[in-house]
Amino acid sequence: MINVDSGSKIFNDKGDIAVVLDALCDTDTLRSILGPIGSRLAAIYVCHSAIVEKKVPLPALRKGWARVQQELDFYSPQVKRVFVLGGTEAVKVIFPKIPKYAIQETHGTLFLLNGRVVVPTWQVRELRYINTRGKDTTALHLMEYFNQDMARLLRLERPDAPLSIQTWIPNHLTGTVVVDIETNAPINDTMTALGIQWSDTERAQITDPDQMQWALNVIADSPVENIVLHSAQYDMSFFSPEWRAKTYGRIRDTILMAKANGAGQGEAGLKNLCNRYTSRPGNYAWANETFSYDDPAYHAEDLEVTWRLFKLWGKQDKLVVEVMQRAASMCCEQTYLGSKVDTARLTTLAGDIDKDLAKQEPLLKAKYDCEDLNSNDVLVASLIRKGYTFKKATNGGKVAIDAEVLKDLGLPDIVEYRELRKLESTMLRKFNTLLRPDGTVPHHQNLMGTETGRTSMSEINWQQAYGIAKELLVSRFEGGSIGSVDLSQAEIRTGCYNSGDVEMAEWALMKDAHRVNASNAFQVLFEEVTDEQRFAAKAIIFRAMFGGQGITEPQKRVEVYAKSKFKRFFKWVEYARAKAMRTNEVTDAWGKRRDLKRKLTEAGKWAVGRCGINGPIQGLASHCAMWLTVRTWELLRDFKSLVLFGVHDSIVFDIYPGEEYNVLSALDTAFRELGVMLRSQFEIAKLLPLEGEFQVGANWYATKTGEKHHLTTAEVPVCLT
């Protein structure tokens, strides 16, 4: 072990590269990591930090780094670059002249410090990972970035000069234009600078508000084919609805392209993408004590990296990107308009829940001898003392204690309490803080916000709403109503599309298909199937789509039957599993790629296999739902009714009085157009369409009792009544 005090060094003075470590590490690991540096290594410095002990001795770390700087200046004038292996928090400390907000991740950041190029990367200990099975493994999802950081270190002596940037643009533009903004959010959400690039070498930064608006009008009114932004949904929220309408269909988004090409949520930022896909030094390369996000050098880097990323990905023909780029404009409008809340019902519901929680909490604490019902660790310990046994673990290796686990243990009272507490903390409190004067609340949809491609939500997260919470969503229009469309068997049907299993497709069309399977598997009459048998039949189909197997004896019995009946589907399941485990990636039918190296590191190869099965199934289902949402929104733009948001396999509408038929007609058109696409891609879609039910009610919860209107992607159109 290297065991030294703050500021100590190992020094040989032979090369032009110095390494600074923030941590204790194994010498063999260090030697293998620093191998590519070879004879160019001048020195290794160790700034010992107690980060590994969950605390950061900031004064000692600062003192150690100050000594390193002094020694580099005095002993090693030939050192031109410094490689820092340290966690993000430590790097924020050892670079005191760099604003803390300038370091969002260690990898991808590049500095000039005292005339030297500084490339921070991952802490050594982070490159080893203890997965859920306790296995010490190489963190493959980090090693890729580490190797790129090492390559940049060896290639660059210092960054190129800052890119040229001017303060004017032509009054006529064509081809491709990159747009990037700087804001003073969250202070008052004002755009402070507009950046524009229209060729490989021409770019501008404009800061005058009138000139910014003039430039945006030039872009909208010119015959520009591609208006490229990175995170278009956010940037366009600072532009007018009229601008978004003029440019609709021409917006291109490199963050969506990055996600479609395998970048995870934490990897789709410009710094990461700059490091991974371009040769630029990074947008903080010239940072100093006067650093500002309005700095032209910083802005020029953002523009140039976005320009290069579009040149890399812009010609890719990925259907998922085309759909999501249209959705970016829709989601931007939806966040701006928000959703109307029944404030009177909110007050009543909050009071009722507070009373229920106050009544339940002391009783449950006494019953289970638990001091904190909301702490998973405390609750698990209490239940173990009571004799309960847990068999399921999370990806992080802890005991799983979700609602399904608690129900299996026969603890519905704890499930009810925790659901009420979650509703109170994650939704009701937010309503009170986010409620606007007009009674609406914002809801932000994060496109491809999950690894499988599903949309996630922030602000008010309606995806978490269930039961009585849905009563809060009402129409903003006097005499208006709420509409909802739920897709039926979406993932079962996309499972059939991926596998091409005709037998399974014909089964999915049957009435109460899971009861049919149970009847055949248990050899009982359809009418005599018990709820337990039907549950086992349903469970095994969904477990198969997530790469699982039967657990209980009834499930295992159904599994034997299902494998004999749906041979092509289960053959595809094994093929998809094996391919994902071989390549550590999966791509769905609409082009969304998922890099599974992180999953391999965290949970092992079998988890990778499960993702290989579920990714194409869940991905296609969610993409189809988003396509229907966007297309219906497009068809309703001349009406007053609003498409509020999509929730997994559902779409929610705010319907203007008298426009119920128009909404239903738009949905019917969207379903039939989607059917044309699906039949061109999957032969089996001619037999098995996607279907949904449209219902209307006074609030979202009430829609489930409304009259059902059937929708289908089949060639025969629905009869509108």
SS (H, E, C) 8-43: EEEECCCCCEEEEECCCCCHHHHHHHCHHHHHHEEE
Helices (H), 338-467: 343-368, 376-385, 403-408, 412-423, 429-434
pLDDT-based confidence at residue 294 (cuts at 50, 70, 90): low
How many other CB atoms are there within 10 angstroms of residue 687's CB atom? 15
The pLDDT mean for the chain works out to: 87
pLDDT at 718: 43
Residue 387: which region, alpha, beta or left (left: phi > 0; alpha: psi -120 to 50)?
left
Q: Two tokens at 163? A: 């890119």
Q: Among 212, 150, 208, 134, which Cα is nearest to 179's?
A: 212
Could you read off the pLDDT of 557-606 as tens digits, one per residue? 999 999 999 999 999 999 999 999 999 999 999 999 999 998 888 888 99
Count CB atoms within 10 A of the CB of residue 656: 21
Q: What is the pLDDT of residue 5?
A: 46
Q: What are 646-675's pLDDT values in tens digits?
A: 988 899 999 999 999 999 999 999 999 999
Instruction: Considering only residues 12 and 124, tell me which one the structure prediction assigns the higher pLDDT.
Output: 124
For residues 570 and 595, the answer to whether their CB atoms sit within 8 Å is: no
**Least confident range of 67-71, 99-103, 548-552:** 99-103
Q: What percent of the chain has pLDDT over 70?
A: 89
Q: How far is CA 8 from the centre of its chain?
A: 42
Question: H or E stretch including 277?
Answer: helix 270-277
Candidates 267, 298, 311; CA nearest to 195 is: 298
Confidence of residue 350 (pLDDT cuts 50, 70, 90): confident
With tokens 């690039």, the residue in question is: 197
Q: What is the CB neighbour count within 10 angstroms for residue 510?
A: 11
Cβ-Cβ contacts under 8 Å for 716 (sequence gap 6 or more): none
CA 100 to chain centre: 25
